[in-house]
Structure 1
Amino acid sequence: MADLFSSDAPPTANSQRPLADRLRPAALAEVIGQDAVLGPSAPLGAMLSTGRLSSMVLWGPPGVGKTTIARLLASETDLHFVQISAIFSGVAELRKVFAAAAERHRSGGGTLLFVDEIHRFNKAQQDSFLPHMEDGSIVLVGATTENPSFELNAALLSRAQVMVLSRLEDDALSDLAARAEALTEKVLPLSSDARRALIEMADGDGRALLNLIEAVQSWALAEPLDTAGLSARLARRAAQYDKSGDAHYNLISALHKSVRGSDPDAALYWYARMLEGGEDPRYLARRLTRMAVEDIALADPQAQTICLGAWDTFERLGSPEGELALAQAVIYLALAPKSNAGYVAYKAARVAAKKTGSAPPPKHILNAPTGLMKDQGYGSGYAYDHDAEDGFSGQNYFPDGMERPGFYQPVERGFERDLAKRLEYFERLRAKRAQS
């Protein structure tokens, strides 16, 4: 069994190169897991079939082949490949690249300029690409893990297509693992369950998987490892999560919509994902309170109190104990009756307030602390509701001439069922007072 999992053959110069480099595809057809972009009828495939390549931005998580695709695009279109990183490059280097590309263009050649982490360039640096894209001296291929809509300026995006690359699914990662075994002529010394665990450790990142495989293949083992043995030797790859980036907004959106959709299990999952990524629990406490106000509101007035109590508990207990209080708030919110009637009413009232400008309140509800104000009719005709039948006068409290709106429309869920009955009751009384 030992011969199957280890080799006494001396390392060659080629074998000293990282596995990810040795396994780099030699043609676009060999790229794994990106058929939605590279397939014959997909955006890049269709573009290549015409023999013309336009500028683009490759947007996707780490380890899905952005650099490899850019290199292969240059190869398959006979363009000179130039690679720079927005992290390390400045204005001086950009000028050299542009000058060399212009000279190449005058000689009848073309340049594919690959800019890694293009979102790190500021607006002025991004704008510097525009004239060279327009005169054809460069085909720009930018790579980013961040949402281009937020990180790249409109002028650049208007001249480049955005190609969305996906995290590698488990099937694609399994194919990649098989390729690695064929190239190295070493079968991974893992049980079937451990092999699946290795795929999961990569978390959709092909480069991470190949690094893990390289580590596993370096072990001299007499027997295959099970999942426990693998976990003891390897650390799981940290989940992709940037607290100020795209993953942050995607996960909080998933948490919010899971709560709104009354799915406590999904809500807990996304809550846990954010905590595992290092999110500040105070940020989550604030967002949970917002969900209580925006999506539950008066259907369950207790929801806001639950969130504020969980927030206070976290501040008193700290982490990790306080995070349990927030988790319980997540469950409560997900299972609470939902209503955005208050939110809708508030927005409608703001719109109406803008339209009516500075229309004053009707004079009968204005105070009259001076004789002059009394002479002007301030407070005249005001009906004191406590003295009225049923404690309700039914007077108009909107500006004179303004048609009475109906901003708040409670739903037939939770406590708002009771509020709807109260509204109906006062509407009947208002109609009765109007007839009398």
Structure 2
Amino acid sequence: MGDLFDTGTETDAKPEAEADRHRPLADRLRPQSLAEVIGQQQVLGPDAPLGVMLASGSLSSLIFWGPPGVGKTTIARLLADESDLHFVQISAIFTGVPDLKKVFEAAKIRRQNGQGTLLFVDEIHRFNKAQQDGFLPHMEDGTILLVGATTENPSFELNAAVLSRAQVMVLERLGKADLEALTKRAEAELGQDLPLLPPARSALQDMADGDGRALLNLIEQVAAWKVDADLDTDALSTRLMRRATKYDKSGEEHYNLISALHKSVRGSDPDAALYWFARMLTGGEDPRYLARRITRMAVEDIGLADPQAQTHCLHAWEVYERLGSPEGELALAQAVVYLALAPKSNGAYVGYKAAMRLAKKSGSEPPPKHILNAPTSLMKEQGYGAGYDYDHDAEDGFSGQNYFPDGMERPELYQPVERGFERELKKRLDYFAKLRAQRNAD
């Protein structure tokens, strides 16, 4: 084997070159140094966390959190090269406890022989708590330097003990400039320009959805086509299927997108709200979940500034149940637009939370006796109902009596805003406050 690599003849090299041409493009373009990595400068730059670690020679255990195809595995491998560590890669999907024990034993032997081990664990969030705990002693005694990769939020999926011993590095989906740089690098490797008009080239990059590996796979397909002229966007779309949008109905993306929808509604931006609503639907979200969350937005963010908002949402929900998909989604979309353009108030919501805090703080304070019913003579003797002023008999239909526990300072829980219907409610509140002050002064 030594002869093959050290003194290979021209005849020997041809099969090797032929084999190289048949390697996947993504494998052929794998960076050979961190300087060749496209994107992720927020962690790899000279003043970024990894750049500083490498410059100081103090690499610590890491967790790479980011979407697929952004370089997690590649960066881990290059870190091992630049730190002179033996690189070991495992996947949490295919690795059990016996396999982990073998990995740790081999790393101990390597350490005794003077070489460290960088253990790269792909999909590390798939290990259970006990398996994750198994890494701790080997991280602490220096047997391994752990680099875990996950597409899920580490705060939710990884043990606190592991997170306390590792730094989380957030890797981002590749931007437009990154994807263009990767496209040019691929064209140089292939020795040809892609047969695409500029809009189609941009559309191809959009199909990758920020995933560099996916882009290279698409480029490899396009480069193999035999065409007489550069293709436009329609021709490209006919020949290629658009990559499915990344969306996990029970994971991080689910919560990110519903948060974006909610905040767009709260921010009175119907266009953004419709966009995030559509993103969730195209990702496969259950429209009934969206109907429930939209109704909650009406309660929380519109409130009494537009009392019809809740009714509108409930009617849209009912229309969806009657029509089903896909026609019923239009009713929900109309509700989203209505909420985005409705006047906003969280006055009742804030007042409710303040009332809950006060109720917990005040404990079991009883109501004042004058507003208690007295159905028995004993209760009348105890003063129940004594001194109650029937509001309908009072001037203006308002007695101004105290309805809070005796001795409690009157709080101001509900404070309406000067928007929408709550303008009218604020006038009423101020009116009753003025009457109450007059009645108490008399």
Same-fold call, TM > 0.5?
A: yes
Q: 2:200 aligns with which of 181, 194, 202?
A: 194
SS in 1 for 2:172: coil
State yes or no: 1:134 paired with 2:135.
no
Give structure 1 stretches of 5+ with no counterpart. 1-9
- Match in the other structure for 1:426: 432
Q: 1:246 aligns with which of 239, 244, 252?
A: 252
Q: 1:203 aligns with which of 195, 206, 209?
A: 209
State yes or no: 1:145 paired with 2:151.
yes
* Alpha-carbon distance between aligned partners in 1 of 2:114 and 2:91, rounded to the nearest angstrom: 26
- Match in the other structure for 1:318: 324
State yes or no: 1:104 paired with 2:110.
yes
* Alpha-carbon distance between aligned partners in 2 of 1:307 and 1:149, rounded to the nearest angstrom: 34
SS in 2 for 1:382: coil
* Alpha-carbon distance between aligned partners in 2 of 1:295 and 1:121, rounded to the nearest angstrom: 40
- Match in the other structure for 1:350: 356
User: Aligned runs of 1:173-184 on 2, under 5 Å?
Assistant: 173-184=179-190
- Match in the other structure for 1:296: 302
> Deviations 1:41-79 (Å, cap 9, x if unpaired)?
100000000112100100111110000001100111011
Give structure 2 stretches of 5+ with no counterpart. 1-15
- Match in the other structure for 2:220: 214
Q: 2:56 aligns with which of 50, 54, 68?
A: 50
* Alpha-carbon distance between aligned partners in 2 of 1:391 and 1:11, rounded to the nearest angstrom: 96
> Deviations 1:7-36 (Å, cap 9, x if unpaired)?
xxx992111111101100000000001111
> Deviations 1:359-406 (Å, cap 9, x if unpaired)?
001111111111111111111111111111111111111011000000
SS in 1 for 2:409: coil
State yes or no: 1:75 paired with 2:81.
yes
User: Aligned runs of 1:18-37 on 2, under 5 Å?
Assistant: 18-37=24-43
How high is the TM-score relative to the length of structure 2?
0.95
State the AA in 2 paired with 1:46.
V
> Deviations 1:127-180 (Å, cap 9, x if unpaired)?
111111100101100111111111112111111001011110111101101101
* Alpha-carbon distance between aligned partners in 1 of 2:281 and 2:18, rounded to the nearest angstrom: 44
Q: 1:281 aligns with which of 271, 287, 291?
A: 287
Q: 2:394 aligns with which of 385, 388, 393?
A: 388
* Alpha-carbon distance between aligned partners in 1 of 2:416 and 2:389, rounded to the nearest angstrom: 28
State the AA in 1 paired with 2:354.
A
* Alpha-carbon distance between aligned partners in 2 of 1:128 and 1:394, rounded to the nearest angstrom: 67
State the AA in 1 paired with 2:359.
A
SS in 2 for 1:390: helix
Moved runs in structure 1, 4+ residues, more than 4 A? Answer: none
Identify the structure with bigger relative contact order (alpha carbons < 8 Å, sequence gap 6+): 1
* Alpha-carbon distance between aligned partners in 1 of 2:251 and 2:429, rounded to the nearest angstrom: 45
> Deviations 1:384-435 (Å, cap 9, x if unpaired)?
1111111111111101100000000000000000000000010011011101
State the AA in 1 paired with 2:179.
L
Instruction: Please provide the CA RMSD for this pair.
Output: 1.1
SS in 1 for 2:18: coil
Q: 1:88 aligns with which of 75, 89, 94?
A: 94
* Alpha-carbon distance between aligned partners in 2 of 1:78 and 1:270, rounded to the nearest angstrom: 46
SS in 1 for 2:168: strand
* Alpha-carbon distance between aligned partners in 1 of 2:122 and 2:47, rounded to the nearest angstrom: 26
State the AA in 2 paired with 1:270.
W
* Alpha-carbon distance between aligned partners in 1 of 2:98 and 2:155, rounded to the nearest angstrom: 27
* Alpha-carbon distance between aligned partners in 2 of 1:275 and 1:206, rounded to the nearest angstrom: 25
- Match in the other structure for 2:13: none
User: Aligned runs of 1:3-22 on 2, under 5 Å?
Assistant: 12-22=18-28
> Deviations 1:95-153 (Å, cap 9, x if unpaired)?
11111112212222111111111111111111111111100101100111111111112
- Match in the other structure for 2:66: 60
- Match in the other structure for 2:230: 224
User: How many equivalent residue pairs?
Assistant: 427
State yes or no: 1:270 paired with 2:276.
yes
SS in 2 for 1:12: helix
* Alpha-carbon distance between aligned partners in 2 of 1:95 and 1:162, rounded to the nearest angstrom: 25
Between the aligned residues of both structures, percent identity stands at 76
User: Offset of 1:311 from its aligned partner?
Assistant: 0.6
State yes or no: 1:379 paired with 2:392.
no
State yes or no: 1:160 paired with 2:193.
no
Q: 1:11 to 1:229 in 2, by over 3 A?
A: farther
- Match in the other structure for 1:368: 374
SS in 2 for 1:284: helix
* Alpha-carbon distance between aligned partners in 1 of 2:98 and 2:373, rounded to the nearest angstrom: 70
* Alpha-carbon distance between aligned partners in 2 of 1:323 and 1:21, rounded to the nearest angstrom: 43
How high is the TM-score relative to the length of structure 1?
0.97
* Alpha-carbon distance between aligned partners in 2 of 1:369 and 1:133, rounded to the nearest angstrom: 73
